Structure 1
Amino acid sequence: MQEEMEQLDEVENQIVNQFIETCYFDNCLLASEESRKNCYESLKFGYHAFMNSMKTYEEQGLLQALSGKYLPVKLAGDIVENPEILPSGHNLYQFDPRLIPEKTAAERGKIIAENTIAQYYEEFGNYPASTGIVLWGFENSRTQGETIGQILHYLGVRVQASKGSFKPNYEIIPIKELGRPRIDVVIYMTGFFRDIFPNVIEDLSDLFLKRARLDESDNNNCLKANTKRIFEQLISQGYEVEEANQLAAARIFGPSEGAYSTRVTSLVGERNWQEEADLAKGYVNDIQYVYGIGSRGKPSSQLLKLHLQAVDLVSQIRSNLELEVIDLDHYYEYFGGFSKAVEVERGRKTPVYISDTTGELVQTEDVKKSIERGVRTRVLNPKWIDGLLAHEQHGTQQILERFENLIGLAATTNKVDSWIFSELNSTYIADEKRREELMKNNRFALHSMMERLLESQTRGYWEATEDEFHQLKEAYLQLEGSIEEKV
């Protein structure tokens, strides 16, 4: 195997170097006509990016701007994900919301949807009827709309190529070609997404309404079936027919106008909750506002609950290589709060799937695996710990934030195993040398870390042994006495 890989690398280097020098490569190096054609297209694209990377208009652009002359605009972004942004030196804009989803993002979104459906089918033996999706603004501007592509594929819709248009055109995929039912989607969007993508909200709302009216059976169109169910319940609650029709087809929920978050993080951060249902209640209260199809932030917790009763899985994309799901409280706030709200309404736990799109290959996994990878690469990694403790005060504070996030993930997903808290205790508390380092760095943050471990035991997320609990309690009392002496 190693020998074959070395031969492939040798052929690859030969092809690339030959193309850079001559814009040609030896066709006999590749077996089939299709592979030669694909290779040529890839090399041509790569060569174009390579040549643009050798150019820069920075100095020229600066002088033009200082002279009060027009400086042409161009898309900014990651040169690896989008080499077309080169050469640099233009008047930059972050993204064009009118072009969301971009073609590649739509294709990757399709892969995310297929991966998630396959994961669910393997676990439960049937297709999900409805999915819960979290829409982040920064994420979709970074990926150019991968989550939108995911939503479209659940619905059985594809983006058509259109020249000279600033608005995507959508095409219905026939059920026979799709090979499965159209899956319903319930969306929670952040306040930032609401503000920068009003056109996408309008497009999705229109798609929901039209897909609900297709001449298809309920078995082939879960969105249509759920829309009918919700319409009948709204009518029974006294809604007028026109309003019930609009609300039954609405699928986008978010915070009220001017709001940008939920109370879930503050409840967890301040330990101001008794039962997990309190987190679900706070989440629903804060995201109950309907957008699209005649509504702009209309509160309707009852409508949201009707949708949550049908959700089979919750899905979110992780597109930032720098952040694991344990690194940011927004992860447990959004997909965690969503899954807990579904669990409370349905009376059963809901699977959560995280799709990692940071690399070329899209990988979808159960949130349990995402959490455990974050734990191993972060809070249990000696190099990561040493790197943080090089920063006075701030280092231990950053570790504390991961402890809090793990409590939030445990409460909202119930996918943080007891062994994780045992390892945290062993790594940071039972190890006297490490505990001394943390105390010197920030004794107050260390004190809060111990409180979080005690909380995890009290709430039942950590089944601490008698020795573990005794050792933690002794260290806690010792540190508390030390803090009081300093004060």
Structure 2
Amino acid sequence: AAMGRASGKPAQFNKSRGAGGGCGVTLRAEDAERVDPDDFEAYCSELFQYLQTVENRLFSEGLHTLGAPPSRDHLVQYLSAFFGEDLPEAAVNAVADAGSGGVPAVRAKLDAMFRSASATSPFEAPLSAEQRAALDAKLERAVDIRALLQRNTEELDAVLRALAGEYVRPEAGGDLLRDGEGVLPTGRNIHALDPYRMPSAAARARGAEVATQILQAHADANNGALPETVAVNLWGLDAIKTKGESVGIVLELVGARPVTEGTGRVARFELVPLEELGRPRIDVLCNMSGIFRDSFQNVVELLDDLFQRAAAADEPPEMNFVRKHSSAMQAKGLENSGARLFSNPAGDYGSMVNERVGQGSWENGDELGDTWASRNAYSYGRGGERGRARPEVLQSLLGTCDRVVQEVDSVEYGLTDIQEYYANTGALRRAAETAQKASGRSGGVGCSIVEAYGKDTKPKELEEVLRLEYRSKLLNPRWAEAMVAQGSGGAYEVSQRMTAMVGWGATTGFAEDWVWQQSAETYALDPEMASKLRKANPQAYSNVLKRMLEAAGRGMWNADPSIINRLQELYAEIDDQLEGV
């Protein structure tokens, strides 16, 4: 538990870190009398809520085997995640146990279940016709989803047809939890969305809700002050899966809305009058992935048109931060001061930050921020704005940036699972912090993470999400055992997460001893686990040890010398094995 203690005063709980904090002081028995009872009760309540959050957090258990239908337990997990509290646990289990049976078979399973427990079946209680119809509809839907999930076996057939150049049935891609059963069965030639209708009405509404919460949370943490500039990452696959939620966030921050034609296509983004908006227009730095840049040129042009009009709007600078910053850049003689959409050079992809972290070719985090900035200094928009280098405009925007926003579109891959998040979100934040200091501003740069795959759109701070992910996945015995059971591929996934952990420490300074300590205890110092990793994938196991030693060497982990010595011994052993010594 995260606690602090001042000499001569009752021990106080560290409210700045909260129950989710990663470091603190262990409360000893002799300190019990010094703890204020009210503080202890409040902390226990906060801790209980946090443990519930960790317990209920979804994570991907192992890797998917192509063509393999879900097991009975996996069916229960899918259905429970999909229906939540809308379908009782007993009903979910009955659906999973009913084989290919429909609602009557499910009812029979439930009746047998409750008879064996000497209880009364909930279906025998008096239900109105409307209640019974609603219940039957949910059970029918659960049965349909079960049947669709069991058709995963069609994946291999589709692969063989594709390799033979034969027809593969098309289907809309998406996520079961977000988009519903329409994305099933798998094994289809998936397609995305019509880019000319992005954002969809639902994505626009959710994006607006997210943006409003981001602004409110920022104001609450900064004495009511709103951010002047917010950097929003626009990623292609994220936009496809959410149908443009990240674009909806941008529109709400600036204070704009889509104008559609009769066909439903978006014709332009119009500015909402300030009187209706009721707050200043927030300036937005849009950092586009290469896929977004190349796939949604129409959206890029519409956004560029919006920013140029916002920069030229006849509005007070204190109520229009786009105009305020654009005017300041014009005063410095910068061209296209309304440019707000940046990415890599045309035809190029990636920030190269993950390559530097992977190779260990960096000395401090500022270097990685500079690498990100040099790779993303190219402006896109209408006309000839197709990758024009505008590093001065980018640096000016970074200097006014108070917050970074990143959507996570899938439960399967989060911040700690792949290299792209720290290489873009983390490095962008570092670049903004560096530019902010250079411009003489202070206050730091916040980072809001939006987990867009569920119903809850409440943004979380970056550090909070990192702690949640490490606790619910990497350091979760259930996750670890499932991943290692996958053999070479699972060991590789563990290895990649160790590299990503170094990446987050490098770009954001996230360095909490408990994460590295428990990682070492789980994957290196446990003989059984270490043996499985070593046999399954010696190179991955070597990287796990290498990253732990690197973290200690770079000051990310204050490890006990005896642990470092043991890790060095293990690393030398696996190095000899790989070298054939």
User: TM tier, shorter chain?
Assistant: 0.7 to 0.9
- 8 Å contact 2:403–2:448 — kept in the other structure? yes
Q: 1:16 to 1:318 in 2, by over 3 A?
A: farther
For residues 100-142 of structure 1, what are the alpha-carbon distances to aligned partners after superposition, in whole Å with 9 as ceiling and x for unaligned? 0000000000111112112212222211000011110111011
Q: Which residue of 1 aligns with 2:65?
A: none
For residues 358-393 of structure 1, what are the alpha-carbon distances to aligned partners after superposition, in whole Å with 9 as ceiling and x for unaligned? 111213101111111221122111122222222333
For residues 20-79 of structure 1, what are the alpha-carbon distances to aligned partners after superposition, in whole Å with 9 as ceiling and x for unaligned? 99xxxxxxxxxxxxxxxxxxxxx9xx99x99x99xx9xxxxxxxxxxxxxxx99865456
Q: Which residue of 2 aligns with 1:18?
A: 133
Q: Which residue of 2 aligns with 1:301?
A: 391
Q: Which residue of 1 aligns with 2:117?
A: none
Letter of the aligned partner of 1:466 in structure 2?
A: P
The separation in 1 between residues aligned to 2:555 and 2:174, in whole angstroms, is 44
Alignment length (residue pairs): 436
Q: Which residue of 1 aligns with 2:17?
A: none
Q: Provide the identity percentage.
A: 26
- 8 Å contact 1:227–1:248 — kept in the other structure? yes
Of residues 558, 572, 580 in structure 2, which corresponds to 1:463? 558
**Is residue 409 of structure 1 aligned with residue 504 of structure 2?**
yes
- 8 Å contact 1:368–1:416 — kept in the other structure? no
**Is residue 343 of structure 1 aligned with residue 458 of structure 2?**
no
Per-residue deviation, 1:293: 4.3
The separation in 1 between residues aligned to 2:127 and 2:461, in whole angstroms, is 36
**Paired residue secondary structure (2:333):** helix
Letter of the aligned partner of 2:495 in structure 1?
A: L
Q: Which shows bigger deviation, 309-318 or 374-383?
A: 374-383
The separation in 2 between residues aligned to 1:219 and 1:288, in whole angstroms, is 27
Where do residues 41-440 of structure 1 align in structure 2 (5 Å cutoff)? 77-78=174-175, 81-82=178-179, 93-125=191-223, 126-160=225-259, 162-234=261-333, 244=335, 247-294=336-383, 295-347=385-437, 349-440=444-535
The separation in 1 between residues aligned to 2:215 and 2:201, in whole angstroms, is 21
- 8 Å contact 1:263–1:282 — kept in the other structure? yes
Aligned-CA RMSD value? 3.6
- 8 Å contact 1:227–1:249 — kept in the other structure? yes
Superposition TM-score, scaled by structure 1 size: 0.80
- 8 Å contact 2:234–2:287 — kept in the other structure? yes
Per-residue deviation, 1:300: 2.0
- 8 Å contact 2:407–2:451 — kept in the other structure? yes
- 8 Å contact 2:408–2:450 — kept in the other structure? yes
The separation in 2 between residues aligned to 1:103 and 1:267, in whole angstroms, is 40
Q: 1:218 to 1:328 in 2, by over 3 A?
A: same
- 8 Å contact 1:250–1:293 — kept in the other structure? no
Per-residue deviation, 1:331: 0.6
The separation in 2 between residues aligned to 1:416 and 1:169, in whole angstroms, is 44
Q: 1:300 to 1:87 in 2, by over 3 A?
A: closer
**Paired residue secondary structure (2:406):** strand
**Paired residue secondary structure (1:95):** coil
- The gaps in structure 2 that reach 5 residues or longer are 1-86, 89-121, 149-168
Q: Which residue of 1 aligns with 2:68?
A: none
Q: 1:463 to 1:13 in 2, by over 3 A?
A: farther
Per-residue deviation, 1:423: 1.4
Per-residue deviation, 1:176: 3.4
Per-residue deviation, 1:183: 0.4
**Paired residue secondary structure (2:459):** strand
Superposition TM-score, scaled by structure 2 size: 0.68
Q: 1:11 to 1:84 in 2, by over 3 A?
A: farther
**Paired residue secondary structure (1:430):** coil
The separation in 1 between residues aligned to 2:302 and 2:541, in whole angstroms, is 49
Q: Which residue of 2 aligns with 1:38?
A: none
Per-residue deviation, 1:326: 0.5
Q: 1:173 to 1:94 in 2, by over 3 A?
A: same
- 8 Å contact 2:176–2:184 — kept in the other structure? no
**Paired residue secondary structure (2:563):** helix
- 8 Å contact 2:259–2:269 — kept in the other structure? yes
Per-residue deviation, 1:171: 3.9
- 8 Å contact 2:259–2:266 — kept in the other structure? no
The separation in 1 between residues aligned to 2:256 and 2:286, in whole angstroms, is 16
For residues 121-178 of structure 1, what are the alpha-carbon distances to aligned partners after superposition, in whole Å with 9 as ceiling and x for unaligned? 2222211000011110111011100000000000011235653242245343232332
**Paired residue secondary structure (2:433):** helix
The separation in 2 between residues aligned to 1:188 and 1:212, in whole angstroms, is 18
